[in-house]
Amino acid sequence: MTEAVEYDVVVLGGGPAGENIADRTRAAGLSTALVESELVGGECSYWACVPSKALLRPVLARADARRVPGLAAAARGPLDPAAVFAHRDYWTGSWKDDGQADWLDSIGAHLYRGHGRLYGIRKVSVTSPEGEHHVLSARHAVVVATGSRAVIPALPGITGARPWTSREATSAQEVPGRLLIVGGSVVAAEMATAWQGLGSQVTVLVRGSRLLPRMEPFAGELVADALREAGAVVRTGAAVEAVVRDGSTGPVTVVLEGGETLVGDELLMATGRAPRTEDIGLDTLGLAPGEWIGVDESCRVPGHDWLYAVGDVNHRALLTHQGKYQARIAGAAIAARAAARAAGGASSGAEADSGRWGAHAATADTLALPQVVFTDPEAAAVGLGLAEAERAGHRVRAVDYDLSKVSGAGLYADGYRGRARMVVDLDREVLLGATFVGPGAAELLHSATVAVAAEVPIARLWHAVPAFPTISEIWLRLLEEYRG
């Protein structure tokens, strides 16, 4: 190893969370190094959020257009996959990260390309693709932001079948004639929507009883109904036992429990995520390689006052916007603790350890976690669902309303179908959660997020008047239902 190069902060992982840490620590005047083994910008920019939405947007826009009088006939034709792929490739920078790397340089962060590993207290070793070795030492903090990877279950024949993961599903350059999707997750629902819309014959195999099991039951039901109407096959209670690929490029066969077989041209396994922590040196700190990293509310790892973990690796919320939020929290905490040390305070930051963190505590991950599933219809939710709230011991009431009865929805599209639910804490009369399912429902979510995060009293929400005629009028209808 060469002599260590010292920085105030070393960030291991250059995805959205790692980039945001670097941005915040540099803004606080702390020298920062960022280590990335693939592309700066990470999973979200190249294989997840950005390319998936680029694939989905034309599908959803066409679906909306087909429900608008005077426009429906013009939107009956097929999409142009080549144009959709070109648009997707533009937004991913054709899987080149020059722009992101230039941005890091513009804020004064130092980029090290290669595989980084923790080795002891406040040190990170980096091996570049060319075999060069560097040692980085951190005065104040090392931040792990290495993200997560797709999990492929160890089914017989799975290796030879060469299944897609979310990466292949968002970067493919051809439309498969038949696409089998295993899983009931967000990835399964979104990629079924995208590829069915682009011309594949999609079959979704859900082991459980419904799509989108982490959302209110009606969300998965409405999305599954719409997929079926679009021509996809959605089967629940379908457990896969084995997979067989015919040669190197031939069709793939899925064997279900009971012996039934299904054949497709490609197979997408959308069966969960695991932390990318298996080879980053956690064992040198007494932590378990390949496991999620537990953190406190400032995203610091207990027992290691210099080590932080943000984004997917801490398992608080596997969503890009939440990882970026955590990075902002952790960046503020690191800067505050560094300032405390410089002023002669305790090495761990006395104010931080006293529990009086205020804005430097990550609370949105548990109180007001927003998520949108970009299917047709869109499914958007924040906070607790009804079952979650009841399991948590709250005395609650769920208030439901048919979104199609809101005048703004009828004007948005003919035959609009959707549903909304708010979950109210009856003891405090505040919202614990809200779910909206319907075309354009994603744009309703932030108002609900503000209401949940700020614990706005129901009595005060009456004075947030929704504009007429918009779909946001659903708020008035939900409140009327609650008051009876």
Tell me the pLDDT tens digit for each residue of 413-433.
999 999 999 999 999 999 999
Tell me the pLDDT tens digit for each residue of 153-166.
999 999 999 999 99
Domains defined along the chain, listed by start: 5-41+97-149+275-364 (3.50.50.60), 158-271 (3.50.50.60), 377-483 (3.30.390.30)
Tokens found for residue 233: 């096959």
- Strands of 261-264's sheet in order across: 240-245, 252-256, 261-264
Number of Cα atoms under 13 Å in the Cβ half of residue 86: 5
**Which parts of 88-188 are beta strand (E)?**
110-113, 115-118, 123-127, 133-144, 148-150, 178-182
- The CA distance from 242 to 245, in Å, is 10
- The CA distance from 263 to 246, in Å, is 10
Q: Inform me whether the pLDDT recorded for 481 exceeds 80.
A: yes
- Per the DSSP assignment, residues forming a β-bridge with 433 are 383, 423
What sign results for the dihedral spanned by CA atoms 41, 43, 185, 190?
A: positive
Strand bridging mode 252-256 / 240-245: antiparallel
The CA distances from residue 234 to 57, 157, 180, 257, in Å, are 22, 23, 10, 16
Interacting residues of 223 by C-beta distance below 8 A, sequence separation 6+: 189, 193, 211, 212, 373, 375, 376, 377, 379, 437
What is the reported pTM? 0.94
- The CA distance from 138 to 122, in Å, is 5
pLDDT at 247: 83
Q: Inform me whether the pLDDT recorded for 267 exceeds 80.
A: yes
Tell me the pLDDT tens digit for each residue of 182-196.
999 999 999 999 999
Interacting residues of 342 by C-beta distance below 8 A, sequence separation 6+: none
Q: Inform me whether the pLDDT recorded for 274 exceeds 80.
A: yes
